[in-house]
Amino acid sequence: MGSFARKPGIRRLLMRGESVIAGAGLLCGAILLVVMAALALSTDKMSASQQQADNRASTEKMVSEFALELPALLGEDRLTELRRRVQDSANNDAIASMRVIMGDGRVIAASTLGEINQTSLPGALPDVSADVAAMGRRVNTPMGDVVVVAEENASVRGATWGIQSAIGVAGALALSGLWLVYRRLRKRIGALGAIRDALLAAAGGETCVGALVVSDDFGPAAKAWNSLLHDRESLRERIVSERVGETLSRSKLGRGDTDDACDALWHGVVVLDEQGRIRYANGAAAVFLDRDREELRGLPLDSLVSDEALHTALRRVVAREIKRRMSVEVSRGGDREDVLRYSVRPLRGLDGGDAIVMIEDITQQRVASRASSGFVAQATHELRTPLTNIRLYAEEAIDLNDSDPGERSRCLNVINQETRRLERLVGDMLSVAEMESGAQSLRIGDVRLQRIMDDIRTEFEAQALDRGVKLAFDMPPKFPVFGADREKLTLVVHNLLGNAIKYTPSGGSVSMRVTADDAELQIEIRDTGIGIDQEQQERIFDAFFRTDDARAGGFGGTGLGLAIAKEITTMHGGEISVESAAGKGSTFTLHIPNSPVIDRAVAA
């Protein structure tokens, strides 16, 4: 059960088989959203550009019409009417303001009364200076030249709501259609994908029926597959029982040969008489029942196992009330967490024998099942947090619209950070899945260490600042060109430094010291965090391991980061070590040799 039971939780949180089409569905949805966003942005820009052009043309037309009337208004000393006409210009959406200026810069009419500083017309208008002439359009009047200054309205309203609404409705309908197509495809081919995964697991050596069963939600095909699995398991157990019976009943075998044949079985075998007393027990049964084989002979089996369900099954089978197999799972209790499965069935053809009991240790199956369930629960929690943040900040950004660009930018930054966090979580899951399937590989190439370190510094300085942790870097002045898998090397450093910051309380410090030459890269990450107990240091590099230290209870995580770092380091031919003490912090040291660059992937 060991490896496969954890793969569905590691490789995907979807139901088994759904990943066959989930990736394509997400990609199509993302492309659709990008196209709709680009279309909306393009429409808005085109509308804004057209409105600016219309404003400019409208302003020029109004100034030209006003210039034709201006000589008459000034020549007839109709100053009040002139000012009223200028103020009325402010009602035009295309014009922001309008003024009539004499040659010396004094304003005789303006759309804003506070700008007028010449209350009456002089007998003769002063000559227009070059500075004033450059401000607007020069108009010749009987009293002299004046300058008309009109400023167009620079604000635009963006794309019309009708177009934007149409785009939004079209996008919503397209997404709805895509979702319906996805659900239909999932229902049709999801069962095939789930059965394919189960077949691959079986080909890889998985034998536990519970690990190969697929969800009945996939329809009749899934139910038929599950029925075949259960029939196969029943057939296997019947074959084992029949082989045991045949072995015991062969008269050509001596007693010693029969014992040797049964002792070779890894399952416990117990033969009961008509009173439910033990007539025969093989070596495995003696181990499971914690008794010597000779002591077991003649003892009632129900006196050795205190489980009422098993007692009932034994009585019914011995009394011939049922003629089929009955299975009961029994926990051994006490300090032991072993779980044994007792399969009881009637036995015919043996002189004096009445029932046979098969005992199987399913402890590892239960442990693996709990580990898988625990991982799925933890991973679900880890994924729910960034997804919730993305949804909340996206809603806030939508509500803000363009009213508060600064706050909206902050929301987008948070969404970007949470998206990268999701990307790292999914990457960790895929990395462990590749590790367990043996598909993990390296792509060696020239790595610019300076760029990697700069990116890591930028990302974690903000994170450390938010947590109140002092972060220091000690880097060489120049890095050599290094041969390694850039993506996986970055993942190792990211996991180690991220753990150090996460498990260091506010007020503590974390430092990263890097040395590199043509032969080796060495990274030392030291923190003043909660530390690791000595007895747990050997297990921290195991997948899914999480310390039981109460001080670490408030920190999230999937228990995969250090396991991935260890695996990638080993694949590079390097090593990673830890020195730590509870309450005194930890120091992780990474050594990775410089690898030669080749043109193909290096298998793990």
What are the backbone angles phi and psi of residue 88, rounded to the nearest 5°? -65, -25
| Confidence check: pLDDT of 352 > 90 | no
pLDDT of 561 reads 77
> Would the pTM count as exceeding 0.75?
no
pLDDT of 154 reads 66
470 confidence band (pLDDT: 50, 70, 90): very high
| Of residues 325, 321, 317, the one with CA closest to residue 274 | 317
pLDDT of 86 reads 79
Cβ atoms of 55 and 153 closer than 8 Å: yes
Q: Which of 213-227, 428-442, 499-513, 570-584 has the least mean pLDDT?
A: 428-442
Rounded Cα gap, residues 587 and 500, in angstroms: 9
Instruction: Give the pLDDT mean for 203-215.
Output: 72
Cβ atoms of 497 and 512 closer than 8 Å: yes
Instruction: Give the pLDDT mean for 425-433.
Output: 70
SS3 602: strand
509 confidence band (pLDDT: 50, 70, 90): very high
Crossing angle (nearest 10°) for helices 561-571 and 486-502: 140
pLDDT of 83 reads 80
Q: What is the 3-state secondary structure (H, E, C) of 24-48?
A: HHHHHHHHHHHHHHHHHHHHHHHHH
| Of residues 545, 518, 539, 534, the one with CA closest to residue 579 | 534
| Confidence check: pLDDT of 576 > 80 | yes
Instruction: Give the pLDDT mean for 483-489.
Output: 89
With a CB cutoff of 8 Å and minimum separation 6, the contacts of 539 are: 545
pLDDT of 597 reads 58
What are the backbone angles phi and psi of residue 474, rounded to the nearest 5°? -120, 100
Cβ atoms of 45 and 217 closer than 8 Å: no
Residue whose pair of structure tokens reads 């193909």 in the numeric block: 600
Give me the CATH topology for the region 250-361: Beta-Lactamase (3.30.450)
With a CB cutoff of 8 Å and minimum separation 6, the contacts of 462 are: none
What would the two tokens of residue 595 be?
A: 């690898």
pLDDT of 245 reads 64
12 confidence band (pLDDT: 50, 70, 90): very low
Q: Which of 152-161, 200-209, 388-397, 417-426 has the least mean pLDDT?
A: 152-161
pLDDT of 510 reads 94
Cβ atoms of 587 and 524 closer than 8 Å: yes
Number of neighbouring beta carbons within 10 Å of residue 495: 22
Task: Tell me which H or E stretch contains 108.
Answer: strand 107-110
Rounded Cα gap, residues 298 and 207, in angstroms: 35
Number of neighbouring beta carbons within 10 Å of residue 375: 23
Tens of pLDDT, residues 535-559: 777 778 776 666 655 455 455 556 6
DSSP symbol at 600: S
Cβ atoms of 100 and 78 closer than 8 Å: no
Rounded Cα gap, residues 449 and 595, in angstroms: 14
Give me the CATH topology for the region 43-152: Beta-Lactamase (3.30.450)
Tell me which of 253 and 374 has the higher pLDDT.
374
What would the two tokens of residue 156 be?
A: 């635009």
Instruction: Give the pLDDT mean for 198-202.
Output: 76
What would the two tokens of residue 418 be?
A: 């949470």
| Confidence check: pLDDT of 172 > 60 | yes
| Confidence check: pLDDT of 599 > 60 | no
371 confidence band (pLDDT: 50, 70, 90): low
With a CB cutoff of 8 Å and minimum separation 6, the contacts of 221 are: 191, 192, 195
**Dihedral sign, Cα of residue 25, residue 28, residue 30, residue 32:** negative
**Dihedral sign, Cα of residue 198, residue 204, residue 207, residue 208:** negative
The count of C-alpha atoms lying within 13 angstroms of the C-alpha of 579, restricted to the half-sphere facing its C-beta, is: 6
Tell me which of 587 and 402 has the higher pLDDT.
587
Statement: 440-603 belongs to CATH 3.40.50.1980: no
280 confidence band (pLDDT: 50, 70, 90): confident
Rounded Cα gap, residues 469 and 463, in angstroms: 9
Tens of pLDDT, residues 298-349: 888 888 888 888 888 888 888 877 777 888 888 876 555 688 888 888 876 5
Most confident listed range (71-85, 282-296, 417-431, 477-491)? 477-491
Tens of pLDDT, residues 41-77: 777 777 777 777 777 777 777 777 777 777 877 777 7
Number of neighbouring beta carbons within 10 Å of residue 397: 18
Number of H helices, E strands in the chain: 16, 18
pLDDT above 90 covers a percentage of the chain that reads 6
Beta bridge partners of 277: 300
| Of residues 199, 243, 484, 207, the one with CA closest to residue 347 | 243
Beta bridge partners of 340: 330, 361
DSSP symbol at 488: H
Rounded to whole angstroms, the maximal C-alpha distance in the chain is 144
What would the two tokens of residue 208 be?
A: 């536990």
Q: Can you list the positions of beta strands (E) in 353-435?
A: 355-361
Beta bridge partners of 341: 329, 360
192 confidence band (pLDDT: 50, 70, 90): confident
Cβ atoms of 557 and 495 closer than 8 Å: no
| Confidence check: pLDDT of 503 > 70 | yes
| Of residues 142, 157, 164, the one with CA closest to residue 75 | 142
Tens of pLDDT, residues 100-109: 888 788 888 8
Cβ atoms of 101 and 107 closer than 8 Å: yes
pLDDT of 600 reads 36
- Taking the alpha carbons at both ends of the chain, their separation in whole angstroms is 23
pLDDT of 166 reads 76
522 confidence band (pLDDT: 50, 70, 90): very high
Rounded Cα gap, residues 473 and 494, in angstroms: 14
pLDDT above 70 covers a percentage of the chain that reads 78
Q: Could you tell me if residue 585 is left (phi over 0), alpha (psi between -120 and 50 degrees) or otherwise beta?
A: left
| Confidence check: pLDDT of 15 > 60 | no
